[in-house]
Amino acid sequence: MNELVDYLRSRRSSLAMTLVEPAPSEAEIQILIEIASRVPDHKKLQPWRFVEYGNEARVELVKKFQQLSDEEAGSSPLEKRQVELERFLSAPLVIGVISKTIENSAVPDYEQVLSAGAATMLMLVACNAMGYEAQWLTGWFTRSRKATELLGLNKGEQIAGMVHIGSNHIAKTDRTRPEISDIFSKF
Ligand SMILES: Cc1cc2nc3c(=O)[nH]c(=O)nc-3n(C[C@H](O)[C@H](O)[C@H](O)COP(=O)(O)O)c2cc1C
């Protein structure tokens, strides 16, 4: 076993609300995107793209999200919606991974969405590899049609994840993990 295996066996996210500066530099963000785009991608469709939501942009977006009607915001209770908006503002860096389904492709939509999920996961791991902490979040505004329009999504696109990135020095405890015997079998 080596260090990479040890890391993968104990990997954990950090809570977005605990993330502070430093965050990845411009040059490091380029490397994060480069790594995240090295995912398995059936027929090389690149069914994903990445958007950095800057601090000021997020403040403006949240103001607009707060003006959306209950119907446009979906079914979550107002209090929960507010917590999710505060969380969107909390980390020093947020990169949205956008799943972009290519129509009329021989590759089923769900395989394309899986590739976007894999890109999000790889970004989380890359953040840790570069010494940063991260959390993969979504929230009502990543699913509301009006809100996703404000986030710049086009037709056929959806948010795979908002990767909240920064630093902290908080010791991480593990959460409950499945028993291998419950999730693995031989056929
Ligand atoms: C697609 C997706 C969306 C998620 N959205 C949220 C969310 O909105 N709120 C939340 O608290 N956790 C959400 N999570 C879970 C967090 O990423 C959580 O930090 C993680 O499961 C903690 O586990 P880990 O330490 O093993 O990474 C989401 C996970 C995935 C895969």
pLDDT digits (tens, 9 = 90+) for 99-115: 999 999 999 999 999 99
Q: State the pLDDT at residue 76.
A: 87
Q: Which of 9, 12, 13, 18 to mutate to test the pocket of ligand 1 (most atoms within 8 A of CB)?
A: 13
Q: Give the Cβ contact number of residue 34 at 10 Å.
A: 10
Task: Report yes or no: 139 and 91 within 8 Å, Cβ to Cβ.
Answer: no
Task: Tell me which residue of 110, 101, 97 sits closest to 151, measured CA to CA.
Answer: 97
Q: Does domain 14-172 have CATH number 3.40.109.10?
A: yes
For the chain, the domains span 14-172
Digit-by-digit pLDDT tens for the chain (187 residues) are: 699 999 999 999 999 999 999 999 999 999 999 999 999 999 999 999 999 999 999 999 999 999 999 999 988 899 999 999 999 999 999 999 999 999 999 999 999 999 999 999 999 999 999 999 999 999 999 999 999 999 999 999 999 999 999 999 999 999 999 999 999 999 9
Q: Name 165's bridge partners.
A: 93, 134
Q: Could you identify the atom of ligand 1 that is nearest to the CA of residue 117?
A: 1
Task: Report yes or no: 123 and 93 within 8 Å, Cβ to Cβ.
Answer: no
Q: State the pLDDT at residue 119.
A: 98
Rounded CA Rg of the chain: 17
Give the type of residue at 13.
Answer: S
Find the residues whose C-beta lies inside 6 A of ligand 1.
12-13, 135-139, 161
Buried b (16+ CB within 10 A) or exposed e, 87-106: bbebbbbbbbbbbbbeeeee
Q: State the pLDDT at residue 75.
A: 84
Using CA positions, which residue lies closest to atom 10 of ligand 1?
A: 137
CA distance to 18, 64, 134, per residue, from 61 (Å): 21, 5, 21
Alpha helices in the chain (DSSP H): 3-10, 26-36, 55-66, 70-73, 78-90, 109-129, 145-150, 180-183
- pTM tops 0.95: yes
